[in-house]
Chains A and B, each alone.
Chain A
């Protein structure tokens, strides 16, 4: 503890779990938008990564509420948020937005894979055949016409999903940005910053996984897809980092009482995690690497390596950003006279091990899904009529 903090502030209320929550929803929103780039905006080169990003979004989405439930003092009452919502509260929308969005992503995946399910059903025997039948809800007819309808529905859902993905994540930013009591959080830019950083993390995680998996399996990388993603990543990260820095710059320039408080926070408690790690190492370095990659002709292997390092650093950058926002804001006392401290335990209920577990399980599920329906091989079906 440093200076004077109010007696009730010695405990940090929102733990590393609340850092994980916006991080995961960010991955969801980002991955979903990438899938929509193909499905809605016609980026054909993202065809292969389109379904991969959609399924990734779904598995991350399944785990987005887990850190929240683990953090709630009374998780058994979690559904109160939908049973007796207080619509004056920004948080009350969570249950509804989350439910709608999960429904959309699930349906989009279902329609996307319906033709695959039918093919599997045709080939399967015994119990798997029954399961596929159940999964198909009995609809086992596949004609060029059904493929066309499926595709149209996927396209519509992807289109409807875009604003909802942005709402889901922008709303997380708003949760923080609307807390007037906290000078580090309270800014109308917060939700835009959150959306932009979500795009950065979503694209990063896809690039990272895409390159990692192709390297692991010794299969050629889809260079056109990677190049497109790398350009998007560069663009998104420039917008995200600029917005964040502009916010700080304008507060610093205005020299109000708010800056007097934030200055000490940035130069003190957050110096290492914010200034050194988040800005200098994890923002500036990938910016330069991606600039070199996108502006100069480099051997493919070198260029891809730069993309890989940048994606990794940017994944870390967004995680650090979530940490610096969520934890940083709570380190600052509302007395404006001091700072508290927080270090999560490793094995605590809300500690680092559980946080890592929550982040890793979606990847494992993705791995299992890939076993059933491989992402990176030639698609088992062609859409016969578009």
Chain B
């Protein structure tokens, strides 16, 4: 081999090593200097079993401002005309006639009811969302197992597996599910699963100016949700359905279904 060729070959080897070295430095520095919080940590099943997420709605505190609905829409990119959470308004007039409405899910709050001409003797707001039932009808009927319970008690939809048959939409007694027609799959409230495991609250809970919504770990005896449930009298939506909802309602009127 000529000395010229030898020199070219060693130069090539040098450049190769330099490249590997630089690459290694880059990767190493990211690991060492990068923010450890950015590295996703997947909790183990055992970690998740320490939680049982529940939700509490204090209807006596809700003022129907619709902040929760707006926050949810923004946070979760909920498709137009569908809702992961909404607020209902109940008005009972002097003739004991009940009027219920939820214009656009209360996305823009409520205006004075134009239908109502009689004197209103009783009125209240009821926020609604997925009840994350223990014995959920939606997960039972899903033919492909795309709707499921997480180990920490949240009902989710695997949208990469869902076939979009709509059976879960029919089975949910609370009207909490819908078919996202753009994706062709079922969609619903996730209890902001992407937030609660970072120690954050669901978007609707954060946005509520009246603390009418509360989420928490039902397995933790020291959690606030447990304390409130021990202190106050609460009710469930459609308990006769046997779904065992984990969304508890304080001050729920019998007219609310």
Q: Is the CB of A72 within 8 A of B175?
A: no
Q: Which residues in chain A, 173-207, are within 8 Å of chain B measured between CB atoms? A: 175, 179-182
Q: Is A228 an interface residue (CB 8 A)?
A: no
Q: How far is the CB of A37 from chain B (nearest CB, A)?
A: 33
Which B residues are CB-close (under 8 A) to A337?
Answer: 100, 257
Q: Is the CB of A334 within 8 A of B175?
A: yes
Q: Is the CB of B173 within 8 A of A81?
A: no
Q: Which residues in chain B, 158-197, are within 8 Å of chain A measured between CB atoms? A: 161-167, 169-181, 183-186
Q: Is B244 an interface residue (CB 8 A)?
A: no
Which B residues are CB-close (under 8 A) to A89?
Answer: 140-143, 167
Which A residues are CB-close (under 8 A) to B146?
Answer: 80
* A81 to B104 alpha-carbon distance, docked (Å): 35
* A53 to B174 alpha-carbon distance, docked (Å): 44
Which B residues are CB-close (under 8 A) to A125?
Answer: none
Q: Which of B83, B161, B176, B181 contacts A77 (CB 8 A)?
A: B161
Q: Is the CB of B141 within 8 A of A91?
A: yes
* A62 to B172 alpha-carbon distance, docked (Å): 31
Q: How many residues of A contact B (CB 8 A)?
A: 41
Q: How far is the CB of A322 from chain B (nearest CB, A)?
A: 15
Q: Which residues in chain A, 70-89, are within 8 Å of chain B measured between CB atoms? A: 71-75, 77-78, 80-81, 83-86, 88-89
Q: Which residues in chain A, 1-28, are within 8 Å of chain B measured between CB atoms? A: 3-4, 6-11, 13-14
* A330 to B163 alpha-carbon distance, docked (Å): 20
Q: Which of B82, B144, B173 contacts A334 (CB 8 A)?
A: B173
* A162 to B87 alpha-carbon distance, docked (Å): 51
* A10 to B143 alpha-carbon distance, docked (Å): 24
* A73 to B166 alpha-carbon distance, docked (Å): 8
Q: Is A335 an interface residue (CB 8 A)?
A: yes
Q: Is B29 an interface residue (CB 8 A)?
A: no
Q: Is the CB of B162 within 8 A of A73?
A: yes
Q: Is A336 an interface residue (CB 8 A)?
A: yes
* A335 to B99 alpha-carbon distance, docked (Å): 12
- Looking at A10, A85, A181, A337, the one whose CB has the most chain B CB atoms below 10 A away is A181
Q: Is the CB of B143 within 8 A of A81?
A: yes
Q: Which of A80, A91, A336 contacts B167 (CB 8 A)?
A: A91
Which A residues are CB-close (under 8 A) to B100?
Answer: 3-4, 335, 337
Chain B window 46-74, contacts with chain A (Cβ cutoff 8 Å), 1 for yes, 0 for no = 00000000000000000000000000000
CB closest residue in chain B, given A330:
B170
CB closest residue in chain B, given A326:
B170
- Looking at B141, B165, B257, the one whose CB has the most chain A CB atoms below 10 A away is B165
Which B residues are CB-close (under 8 A) to A7?
Answer: 81-83, 86, 102, 104-105, 175
Q: Is the CB of B141 within 8 A of A90?
A: yes
Q: Is B241 an interface residue (CB 8 A)?
A: yes
Which A residues are CB-close (under 8 A) to B105?
Answer: 7
- Looking at A14, A89, A179, the one whose CB has the most chain B CB atoms below 10 A away is A89
Which B residues are CB-close (under 8 A) to A86?
Answer: 142-145
Q: Which of B145, B165, B169 contacts A84 (CB 8 A)?
A: B145
Do A181 and B172 form a contact, CB below 8 Å, given A10-B81, A13-B166, A13-B179?
Answer: yes
Q: How far is the CB of B126 from chain A (nearest CB, A)?
A: 11
Q: Is the CB of B173 within 8 A of A180?
A: yes
Which B residues are CB-close (under 8 A) to A8?
Answer: 82-83, 169, 175-178
- Looking at B164, B173, B177, the one whose CB has the most chain A CB atoms below 10 A away is B164
Q: Which of B161, B179, B241 contacts A181 (CB 8 A)?
A: B241
* A12 to B142 alpha-carbon distance, docked (Å): 18
* A182 to B145 alpha-carbon distance, docked (Å): 22
Q: Is A232 an interface residue (CB 8 A)?
A: no
Q: How far is the CB of A315 from chain B (nearest CB, A)?
A: 27
Q: Is B208 an interface residue (CB 8 A)?
A: no
Q: Is the CB of B144 within 8 A of A84?
A: yes
Q: Is A48 an interface residue (CB 8 A)?
A: no
Q: Which residues in chain A, 262-293, are within 8 Å of chain B measured between CB atoms? A: none
With A91-B141, A179-B137, A181-B137 given, can you name 19 additional A-B contacts, CB distance below 8 Å? A6-B174, A7-B81, A7-B82, A7-B175, A13-B178, A14-B170, A72-B164, A73-B185, A74-B163, A83-B144, A89-B167, A91-B165, A94-B143, A180-B137, A180-B241, A181-B241, A182-B170, A334-B175, A335-B175
Listed in ascending order, the chain A residues whose CB lies under 8 Å from chain B are: 3-4, 6-11, 13-14, 68, 71-75, 77-78, 80-81, 83-86, 88-92, 94, 175, 179-182, 330, 333-337
7 closest cross-chain pairs (CB), A and B: A73-B164, A73-B184, A6-B175, A181-B173, A91-B143, A86-B145, A4-B100
Q: Pick 19 A–B contacts, CB within 8 A, sort by A.
A: A6-B86, A6-B175, A7-B83, A7-B102, A8-B178, A11-B178, A68-B165, A71-B165, A72-B164, A81-B163, A83-B144, A86-B144, A89-B142, A92-B143, A179-B141, A330-B170, A334-B257, A335-B100, A337-B100
